[in-house]
Amino acid sequence: MAFKVAVLPGDGIGPEVVAEAVKVIRAVSSDFEFEEALIGGIAYDQTGHPLPAKTLDLCHEADAALMGAVGGPKWDNIQPTSLRPEVGALLALRSELNLYSNVRPAKTMKALLTASPLKGDHGMIDLCVVRELTGGIYFGEPRERRENGTVAVDTCIYSRAEIERITLNAFDVARARRREVVSVDKANVLETSRLWREVVTELAAQNPDVKVTHMLVDNCAMQLIRDPRQFDVILTENMFGDILSDEASMITGSLGLLPSASLSDAKGDLPFGLYEPVHGSAPDIAGQGRANPVATILSAAMMLQYTFKNLEAAKRIEDACNKVLESGLRTADIFEPGCQLVSTSKLGDAIAAAV
């Protein structure tokens, strides 16, 4: 029986990079069937809503979802804001599908070490950010304007249950790595962070096979630049994780290289996940064949690993990406002298062939 994957190309370069990821999945396995649906700005243009009911239904029916990026300047001023792609599609999809765990690995490829902004081997990192994705300030109520629009209010709320489930998820991720977790908060100032640290400390005592330490978020931001190799798994809340994972990704040299998985609880025997690149829709280069598909292809590898438990196929895709980059093929964002500049589809072809 074939597994069903919802394909959500999205906006800007999304359709280009998603097409290459599907190409690579087909090269590695015939066990999947794919069905496309609209999401984001293009969905708003065609249906009046960035997350049409048909798309949401498809995601509920599928075993996993593979997505490009959504949004862009064209839709930045849509009113109400709940209809903007980033809010009405991305945040809504996370909430509707209970995608509470965002797993973002940041690993430097040897062939691209010179692209890192850090000098020498200092930029050779292998860490993973586990970010709580459906709570915190992005989802807290009330959020409103007061006093004739001159005062804005956002609310940060976390419950013990939300912190427990993301912490246990981070422990599971760490067990497949080096078994070290740094829990990041702002417990010296925020009440939500004090609860966060209290819950993580309790669970750490119950899971002694994982080493757990605590770090304030401002110190973590500094340490990621000073000595990023000290980190294995970084566990943190929604907004802190959003910022720190982008910082970590740039150490590897390009946002075009970093995948992510947003995970929910199991649907039957399979944990449902939404898999997407960390980067945005980049409308300025859309349709030009300049986009880097590696992040989306590696997101597909994460799908095989986390949802479908096919570790062998996932590793084949990762190894193929490394092999092709070591051969000197490059898209524009990671091009350097002595390499061969290729298009989005040509890089995807090469990775599929290497698989």
Digit-coded pLDDT (tens) for 102-149: 999 999 888 888 878 888 888 889 999 999 999 999 999 998 999 998
Length of the chain: 355
Which DSSP symbol is given to 91?
A: I
- What pLDDT does residue 178 have? 97
Q: What is the pLDDT of residue 292?
A: 94
Q: At residue 1, does pLDDT exceed 70? A: no
Cβ pair 261, 102 in contact under 8 A: yes
Contact 166, 132 (CB under 8 A): yes
Q: Is 57 a catalytic residue?
A: no
Q: Which of 126, 172, 246, 323 is catalytic?
A: 246
User: What is the rounded CA–CA span in Å between residue 34 and residue 93?
Assistant: 19
Q: Of 218, 227, 265, 284, which is the active-site residue?
A: 218
Which domains occur in the chain, in start order? 1-102+254-355 (3.40.718.10), 117-251 (3.40.718.10)
Q: Which residue has the tokens 């509470």?
A: 100
Indicate which residue of 11, 242, 333, 349 is catalytic: 242
Helix (H) or strand (E) holding 145: strand 144-146
Does the annotation mark 275 as catalytic? no
pTM for the whole thing?
A: 0.90
Average pLDDT, the chain: 94
Any alpha helices (H) in the chain, and if so which ranges?
14-28, 41-47, 53-61, 92-96, 160-175, 191-206, 217-226, 238-251, 294-306, 311-326, 344-354
* pLDDT of 267: 64
Strands of the sheet with 64-67, listed across from one edge: 32-36, 3-8, 64-67, 270-277, 259-267, 101-107, 126-132, 233-236, 180-185, 211-216
Q: Is 9 helix (H, G, I), strand (E, B) or coil?
A: coil
DSSP designation for 2: P
User: Which one of the listed residues 107, 186, 211, 323 is annotated catalytic?
Assistant: 186
Asked if the model's pLDDT at residue 254 lies above 80, the reply is: no
**Residues 323-338, mean pLDDT to the nearest whole number:** 92
Chain segment 202-220, per-residue pLDDT in tens:
999 999 999 999 999 999 9
Please state at what angle helix 344-354 crosses helix 311-326, rounded to 10 degrees: 120
263-320 pLDDT, tens digit each: 998 666 778 999 999 888 999 999 999 999 999 999 999 999 999 999 999 999 999 9
**pLDDT given at position 4:** 95
Bridge pairing between strands 126-132 and 233-236: parallel
Residue 344 has pLDDT above 70, yes or no: yes
Is the pLDDT at 91 greater than 90? The verdict is no
Residues 6+ apart with CB under 8 A from 267: 63
Candidate list 11, 23, 44, 138, residue with the active-site label? 138
Instruction: Examine the residue annotation and report whether 74 is marked as an active-site residue of this protein.
Output: no
Q: pLDDT (tens digit, 9 = 90+) per residue, 27-62?
A: 999 999 999 999 999 999 999 999 999 999 999 999
- Strand 101-107, strand 126-132: pairing: antiparallel
Query: What are residue 281's phi and psi, to 5 degrees?
Result: -80, -15
The CA distance from 27 to 321, in Å, is 13
8-state DSSP, 49 = S
pLDDT at 268: 67
